[in-house]
Amino acid sequence: MLSPVQFIHTLEAQQGFSQRDRGYVASLLTVALHDKLEYFTEVMKGLLQDLVQQYVAKNPKLMLRRTETVVEKMLTNWMSICLYSFLKEVGGEPLYMLYRAIKYQVDKGPVDSVTGKAKRTLNDSHLLREDIEYCSMTLTVLVKNGLEVQPKWRSGQAGHLTLSDDDVTAVVQGRWKRVNTLQHYKVFQTGEKTPMLEGEEDEGLRLWHLVKSSEDPEIPKHRKSSMRERERAKAIPEIYLTRLLSMKGTLQKFVDDVFVAILSTKRPPPIAVRFFFDFLDDMAENTASTTLRPLPLRFWVNILKNPQFVLDVQVTDSIDAVLSVIAQTFIDSCTTSEHKVGRIPRYKQLVERYYSDIHSSASGCYQEMNSTLTELSGVAALVENKVTDL
């Protein structure tokens, strides 16, 4: 009979075992063994030992850089489970404040509902460069039955008009159809062109809101990506650079608070992180020094890029563009490459102190980790029993 480690290796050796299949197997194992985390951890450790030996023989610096194996996905899931309490007690509040700050700043200026480009952003590829006249307008929204919002404009005692992104009054020019705005309905003569609802493209027509997209929808994805890269390589005019820097300065404190919460040495590092580093040190001398840096990427980059995974928030395209820049900054801070721009050197110092603190406190934490895993398994079993009872 095959052991779990041998079984997974056998699966991965199959030619038709795709990347998606690896993710499915890792997720199924996580769900099946969520209430037996000590056993799950032992299986993961066995697979990691084999993975380390494989990479030490080739290029140790590439270890854990991607999620190409079942064990790398298992490690991501394991970290997510073990770091949940840390996120809830320490990292959650600054992350939420960062999200709210981004949303508030982005919404202070025009946002194109079709392209996701915004006047106020950190991402130059999502910067709305056109000069759009706008002003703010306060709306009172009354929701009946809590089901669906259908905006209506009321004028006087009897007159009212239903507002929608797309109706028979929508302006069509050639193959372009414009999303309806408050200005379109003559709600006021000049104002922020904000669409009411999400529209859908009619067959043969392309929607536009504030600016017409220059991308051809027929162009393959890989070509669109290379076109965007060429566009980003162009020098940014000073007027747009000023906008980006202004947004950066406004959000700086909130970004700092998140990074400090994640990498602070004022409190002991999470037990799961210390355990994992100790495990690597036990496997081979100096192995950890080449594999530690990708560790934060297994969990925190995913959370920084997708706060909706842990918070009850909605991430629009314009907010996602800003979060992508912040997540990339975190990645750059965890690499050995030289960065002399902005605050990355300061963040690198935080990372170095974080690693140093973990090295000095990692030894001998296996018993504490086992107690933590037993406690987490008990919580998972309790939740499962309650769901079954319901």
Residue 294's domain is classified under what CATH number? 1.10.506.10
215 occurs within a structural domain: no
**SS3 sequence of the chain:** CCCHHHHHHHHHHCCCCCHHHHHHHHHHHHHHCCCCHHHHHHHHHHHHHHHHHHHHCCCHHHCCCCCCCHHHHHHHHHHHHHCHHHHHHHHHHHHHHHHHHHHHHHHCCCECCCCCCECCCCCHHHECCCCCCCCCCCCCCCCCCCCCCCCEEEECCCEEEECCCCCCCCCEECCEEECCCCCCCCCCCCCCCCCCCCCCCCCCCEEECCCCCCCCCCCCHHHHHHHHHHHHHCCCCHHHHHHHHHHHHHHHHHHHHHHHHHHCCCCCCCHHHHHHHHHHHHHCCCHHHHHCCCHHHHHHHHHHHCHHHCCCCCCCHHHHHHHHHHHHHHHHHCCCCCCCCCCHHHHHHHHHHHHHHHHHHCCCCHHHHHHHHHHHHHHHHHHHHHHHHC
214 occurs within a structural domain: no
Look at residue 254 in the predicted model and tell me its pLDDT: 95
Look at residue 322 in the predicted model and tell me its pLDDT: 93
Q: Is the same domain home to 201 and 235?
A: no
Residue 90 tokens read as 């320490």
Cα–Cα distance for residue pair 76/296, rounded to 1 Å: 10
Q: Is the same domain home to 126 and 61?
A: no
- Which among 212-226, 245-259, 347-361 has the top mean pLDDT? 245-259
Q: Is the same domain home to 123 and 141?
A: no
22 occurs within a structural domain: yes
Residue 273 is part of which domain span? 86-130+220-390
Q: Is the same domain home to 198 and 232?
A: no
Kindly tell me the burial class for residue 313, based on how many C-beta atoms sit within 10 Å of its own C-beta (0-12, 13-18, 19 or more): middle
144 occurs within a structural domain: yes
Of the residues 209, 236, 263, the one at which a domain ends: 209
Q: Is the same domain home to 283 and 385?
A: yes
Distance of CA 384 to the CA centre of its chain: 28
Confidence of residue 146 (pLDDT cuts 50, 70, 90): low
Mean pLDDT over residues 40-60, rounded? 81
252 occurs within a structural domain: yes
Q: Is the same domain home to 252 and 351?
A: yes
**Domain total for the chain?**
3
Q: Is the same domain home to 361 and 288?
A: yes
Confidence of residue 102 (pLDDT cuts 50, 70, 90): very high
The region of weakest confidence among 28-37, 207-216, 352-361 is: 207-216
Strand order from edge to edge, sheet including 176-178: 172-173, 176-178, 206-208
Confidence of residue 62 (pLDDT cuts 50, 70, 90): low
327 occurs within a structural domain: yes
Its pTM stands at 0.74
Q: Is the same domain home to 71 and 188?
A: no
Distance of CA 378 to the CA centre of its chain: 29
Cα–Cα distance for residue pair 155/188, rounded to 1 Å: 12
Kindly tell me the burial class for residue 180, based on how many C-beta atoms sit within 10 Å of its own C-beta (0-12, 13-18, 19 or more): buried
Q: Is the same domain home to 264 and 193?
A: no
Q: Is the same domain home to 173 and 118?
A: no
308 occurs within a structural domain: yes
Q: For the beta carbon of residue 39, count every other beta carbon within 10 angstroms.
A: 13
Residue 150's contacts (CB-CB under 8 Å, 6 or more residues apart) are: 162, 164
User: pLDDT digits over 230-272, tens only?
Assistant: 555 455 677 778 888 889 999 999 999 999 998 887 887 888 8
The region of weakest confidence among 150-159, 214-223, 343-352, 354-363 is: 214-223
Q: Is the same domain home to 137 and 200?
A: yes
Of the residues 209, 239, 262, the one at which a domain ends: 209
Q: Is the same domain home to 37 and 70?
A: yes
Of the residues 156, 188, 209, the one at which a domain ends: 209
